[in-house]
Amino acid sequence: MTERIFNFSAGPATLPLSVLEEAQQEFLNYKGSGMSVIEMSHRSKEYEAINAGAEAVIKELLGLGDDYRVLFVQGGASSQFAMIPMNFLGEGQIADYILTGAWAEKAQKEATKFGQTHIAATTKEGNYARIPQLDEIKLSEKPAYVHITSNNTIFGTQWKQFPDYGDIPLIADMSSDILSKPFDASKFALIYAGAQKNLGPSGVTVVIIRKDLIEQGNKNIPTMLRYDTHSKNDSLYNTPPSFSVYMVGLVAQWIKKQGGLTAIAKHNEEKAALIYDTIDNSGGYYTGHAEKDSRSLMNLTFRLPNEDLEKAFNSEATKAGLSGLKGHRSVGGMRASIYNAMPREGCQALADFMKEFQKKNG
């Protein structure tokens, strides 16, 4: 294979070609430093600028001011499942979780190791095909925080409207839809995301956190698991995943060049519509897993009439240069992950392939 293909993998996922080319150009000699970013001391001026620049552009895209920090930590979004309750779930307190999929379940389960949790809503019945209505959510009396998963990578559902509980800290796992649309980030106390879907390569987790919350974190936990350690040291307490942070900065700059979150959201809506319209106009040949008003613009899940056809679809699609479409086993069928960096042409190619496949096999 000499040409790049359309990669619909859920993550690590496709990145903007222009960003890959930029990184390639700078790879051997970063801005005249005579060395690659991966060889560079994290205490150098060049790296400090990369680190500070990545924080600044993410804050700018989200419209956040001085009361927030963007931290770059390791351990994946999965480590945040533990770090959040370790820091913010105090003795005798209860943390509320809204269960909308397997990752939300994991986050909640991890929190039970550190304290008490309350399930404020769940859509497990019906295999997580929808996001709960806001009036279905029943909070505990005085939650330490409320945790949601903004986009459910496996099931293909996404929150369209976020809850607002005033002073109760709202925390979101945005691993699979961060920086994909505009929203009021100042309503969140903490947002976290593994970078490997919408932001860059794996190896770094982005934590966007309100400064007053950082101060409230538990001080009697390991140094590396305290948000204030990373905040006080500008994400440079220990050796950071420097190349990943550099790539996140480039991807965020790319989003800015596309016109920011409003422009990228419009693009994402158009891309998803190409595939959802194909599903909806297939006369029932393709069926979406998610209920229509909960459909994700990032991970599109659908089934074919039977598993044999699904296998054939996957293998023929792969041959046609459309890779990574096999769905997660808990949903079955297909999943097209079309994060920010998936070009419109990729979605058009998939929609065309779906129509052709139906014609041949329908």
| Catalytic annotation, residues | 103, 173, 197
Q: Rule CB under 6 A: is residue 244 a binding residue for ligand PMP?
A: no
Q: Which of positions 168-187 make contact with ligand PMP (CB under 6 A)?
A: 173, 175-176
Minimum Å gap between C-beta 298 and ligand PMP is 10
Q: Rule CB under 6 A: is residue 153 a binding residue for ligand PMP?
A: yes
Minimum Å gap between C-beta 69 and ligand PMP is 20
Q: Rule CB under 6 A: is residue 103 a binding residue for ligand PMP?
A: yes
Q: Which of positions 1-30 make contact with ligand PMP (CB under 6 A)?
A: 11
98 close to 105: Cβ distance less than 8 angstroms: no
The annotation status of 77 as a binding-site residue, yes or no, is: yes
The annotation status of 318 as a binding-site residue, yes or no, is: no
Residue with tokens 């140094």: 223
Determine the size of the site formed for ligand PMP (CB under 6 A): 11
User: Which residue lies nearer to ligand PMP by CB, 176 or 229?
Assistant: 176
Q: What are the E-state strand segments in 204-343?
A: 205-210, 287-288, 299-303, 322-323, 334-337
User: Which residue lies nearer to ligand PMP by CB, 245 or 349?
Assistant: 245
Between strands 205-210 and 68-73, the pairing is antiparallel
The annotation status of 176 as a binding-site residue, yes or no, is: no
SS3 at position 215: helix
Q: Rule CB under 6 A: is residue 108 a binding residue for ligand PMP?
A: no
User: Which residue lies nearer to ligand PMP by CB, 40 or 98?
Assistant: 98
Tokens of 87: 């820091």
Minimum Å gap between C-beta 173 and ligand PMP is 5
Q: Rule CB under 6 A: is residue 339 a binding residue for ligand PMP?
A: no
- The rounded distance, in Å, linking the Cα atoms of 103 and 224 is 23
Minimum Å gap between C-beta 93 and ligand PMP is 23
Minimum Å gap between C-beta 321 and ligand PMP is 24
The annotation status of 103 as a binding-site residue, yes or no, is: yes
The annotation status of 78 as a binding-site residue, yes or no, is: yes
User: Residues of 43-79 as b/e, b for ≥16 C-beta within 10 angstroms?
Assistant: eeebbeebbebbbebbbebbebeeebbbbbbebbbbb
Tokens of 19: 């960003």
Q: Rule CB under 6 A: is residue 77 a binding residue for ligand PMP?
A: yes
CA-CA-CA-CA dihedral for 335, 340, 346, 348, to nearest 10: 90
Residue with tokens 């942070």: 245
Q: Rule CB under 6 A: is residue 78 a binding residue for ligand PMP?
A: yes
Q: Which of positions 189-208 make contact with ligand PMP (CB under 6 A)?
A: 194
User: Which residue lies nearer to ligand PMP by CB, 78 or 253?
Assistant: 78
Binding ligand PMP by CB under 6 A: which of 87, 122, 149, 268?
A: 149
- The rounded distance, in Å, linking the Cα atoms of 226 and 228 is 5
Q: How many CB atoms lie within 10 A of CB 216?
A: 15
CA-CA-CA-CA dihedral for 135, 137, 138, 142, to nearest 10: -110
Residues with Cβ < 8 Å from 341, sequence gap 6 or more? 13, 14, 15, 16, 19, 198, 251
- The rounded distance, in Å, linking the Cα atoms of 228 and 143 is 22
Q: Binding residues for ligand PMP, per CB under 6 A? A: 11, 76-78, 103, 149, 153, 173, 175-176, 194
* Sequence ranges of the binding site: 43, 77-78, 103, 153, 173, 196, 238-239
* Sequence ranges of the binding site for L-glutamate: 43
